[in-house]
Structure 1
């Protein structure tokens, strides 16, 4: 692979993103669904790839586009390698640039949110593993690893699904990546569509505390454009560019966090090889990105102690994360194999239906009883995250609480510090496949069922009764 081919593949991602943004500005349906430009761009990349454009061209009599579609095989090769690299940058920055509260403080502020989040995450494993054991394995001959695809695709999203590509290959189930990416796409679209439908239902039935029927997003908000009078700086200039470009400084911090994660992974793999690899082998299958997240935590602890001038800007970190995630989604969707989805269509459909049904049921029946106040605004964020990653949850909370008057945002944010290290691409998500390979699906199912029961008991019997619920909460 030549440097020119790599550079051209990266430039094409920028072009696709720009075209997708123009489509978002003009396409009313995309505006109503609040579809991110990266998802639209990923769809464009997929349509012009080998499984769609290439097959159409072959049917018309030319095999020129069979391997790489309109993009070419070289671009497809680069894109297929990008998700596993970029997801480490995204996770390395999860905690950089913000104070890390202690567990007691975070639990006090967001205890109900944490229990609800764990009910979503552990329940996805429970229903997924049960479906794999009772139906997908006996009927369709699929491995028990399919039971983890709901949480990987829904909570983890495209980045996590693509980042686990090597893990799926090492597990002898390379189709898992494409199925997980398909689940991520279904989850994202369902999260946005179902979320908007539920918000409209909540407004009509009086379940929302802040949003009224007249408080609808403006035209520019639907287009994804910030009004001139509301525009703010995307990041803060904390160092003089004459000394170092601020973007380069923050990229360097992320790079160190990723390197720390890689050193941790190498160390754990070496320790495992020396002590217990003959009987149990877990870290050989663990990807880099959850360790990169730990590297980011280590970096932030050091920064809290030495950064007296506060040169680390959280917004700049988020801009790098955002770009990495956009590029990741386009490259992951652009290299998605539709043939794998078609070959496993019925199992894929069953997984999607079971996962979506479970998540919506948790929101409708458990959120009002586990969250002591503002259950709709707080629960809609967790529903969005449980179906289509954190960004979807934030979008839905923004729609349900446009003035940020409820405790939904701070509770959701503090919950992430406890929740993200484990689910949605964290240690549990990364270790699920190795654990199933080493011990089988039943032990993981038992552990997740116990955690689910504990979450329900704590949420329903303690947090849900901690204070009287608002009147709107009683209508479920």
Structure 2
């Protein structure tokens, strides 16, 4: 008898989290036992998530819908916990450094979005409409389903239905599922390629990641502390103190979200929680509490949240039973997959001056399978979050997330395709890519890459 009668009950939530812990443990045991899992650098959370998916409603049916629904709600919450302490316990970046981090991320993100919106719409007009007679909005399924994810695909069902294309809702969910699976699988392929080519910082020259390739259990002389005890235990546990500061950062983020929502609806919480963390850091650094802060404790909190984010995101994938319009959808998604790979290899090493692989891989994941996949891939490529990728990605979010990947532009694209036609709309976005490419050169943010 399992406590799964009500999705929102505390018993269901506790049971769901407990099962996630069991799945992570199963992933640990499998990776320790099976050498090729270790050689593929598959994290225990991903392995456990795959087990959870196989045992869920679309597989063996061991886990019921209420439990899986609880898992599906966790990635967004856990992403906030990951990003809230991103700027806590560290020296805050100067304005020039902030620009150097955000500008390349914005260019990469918007250039990729223009391609992922424009080219599928052109393919729809030139190929899919003549051959299969699909709707002009068909090409928007990539933007809606891949970076938008299942949530955006569900929200867009009203838009599709309002334009007389009811089947767009189920196709959007299918697109989101394919994108999620492709993002995870191809992301791991890219990660292993990057490790072999010496592009991944954590796996260079016998780094911490590289050591894990031969043994996942670290030797006694290779172990690092998770952080020091900085306050008396009869006052508060050090971990509890740091969690309290993370909670304060999230509360500040919620206030900022409420204020911004009056002007720009749909702003995600995680970048605002990071801003809240920066404000907490600024205040704490000027008080006696500054001596109690241990940055490694914050990194530990982030690591735990990332592990549970990954296992819950993978285990709650909604696998569609029947896919209508399979042929044109397959063509469209193959085009999208090739585009995602092309601009990973072509734009990434030319735009990112620092940590090009890590910054590109988190964007690849979020472009094909929402932010949770990007964070999962970054977690594997940069286990200790030592590169600038996570911080730069989070700093970009307020200038990016409200517009594409589930934002304002995502909602408008299908309507533009109906009003002006798929071809004209697609060409307009392709022209936007060219403009951004020129802008990157003008701003000196485009360089000849090192050998890739």
Query: Which TM-score band (shorter chain)?
Result: 0.7 to 0.9
Aligned residue for 1:338, secondary structure, equals coil
Q: How many residues align?
A: 414
Unaligned 5+ segments in structure 2 are 1-5, 161-168, 366-373, 418-424
Q: Distance in 2 between the 1:208 and 1:74 partners?
A: 39
Match of 1:300 in 2: 281
* TM superposition shift of 1:410: 5.5
Instruction: Give matches, 1:222-237, under 5 Å.
Output: 222-237=214-229
* Deviation readout 1:317-367 (Å, 9 max, x if unpaired): 232222223223322322221116845765665565444433443454445
Do residues 338 (structure 1) and 312 (structure 2) align?
A: no
Alignment counterpart, residue 245 of structure 1, candidates 237, 245, 259 = 237
2:147 aligns with 152
Aligned to 2:256: 264
Q: Quick check: 302-311 or 137-146, which moved more?
A: 137-146
Is 2:40–2:192's contact at 8 Å kept on the other side of the alignment? yes
Q: What is aligned with 1:381?
A: 358
- Distance in 2 between residues matched to 1:88 and 1:134, nearest whole Å: 36
TM-score of the two chains, using structure 1 as the length reference: 0.70
Q: What is the CA–CA distance in structure 2 between the aligned matches of 1:437 and 1:25, rounded to whole Å? A: 45
Q: State the secondary structure of the residue aligned to 2:218.
A: coil
1:127-276 to 2 correspondence within 5 Å? 127-135=115-123, 140-141=134-135, 146-149=141-144, 152=147, 161=149, 173=169, 176=172, 179-180=175-176, 182-197=178-193, 199-200=195-196, 202=197, 220-269=212-261, 271=262
Q: Residue 49 of structure 1: CA displacement?
A: 0.8
Q: TM-score, normalised by structure 2?
A: 0.73
Tell me what 2:163 maps to: none
Q: Check the 8 A contact 1:378/1:397 in 2, yes or no.
A: no
The one of 329, 339, 360 aligned to 1:358? 339
- What secondary structure sits across from 2:290 in the alignment? coil
- Structure 1's unaligned 5+ residue stretches are 54-68, 154-160, 273-281, 399-403
**RMSD value, Cα:** 4.3
Contact 1:20 1:37 in 2 (8 A): yes
8 Å contact kept, 1:150–1:352: no
Query: Partner of 2:93 in structure 1?
Result: 101
Partner residue, 1:433? 407
What residue is the counterpart of 1:26 in the other structure? 33
Distance 1:412 1:75, change over 3 A: closer
Alignment of 1:5-154 (within 5 A): 5-53=12-60, 69-107=61-99, 114-115=103-104, 117-135=105-123, 140-141=134-135, 146-149=141-144, 152=147
C-alpha spacing 1:103/1:145, structure 2 compared with 1 (3 Å): farther
Deviation at 1:31, TM superposition (A): 1.6
2:315 and 2:387 mapped to 1: Cα distance? Answer: 35
- 1:276 aligns with none
* Displacement of 1:251: 2.0
* Contact 2:108/2:347, CA 8 A, preserved across alignment: no
Name the counterpart of 2:303.
322
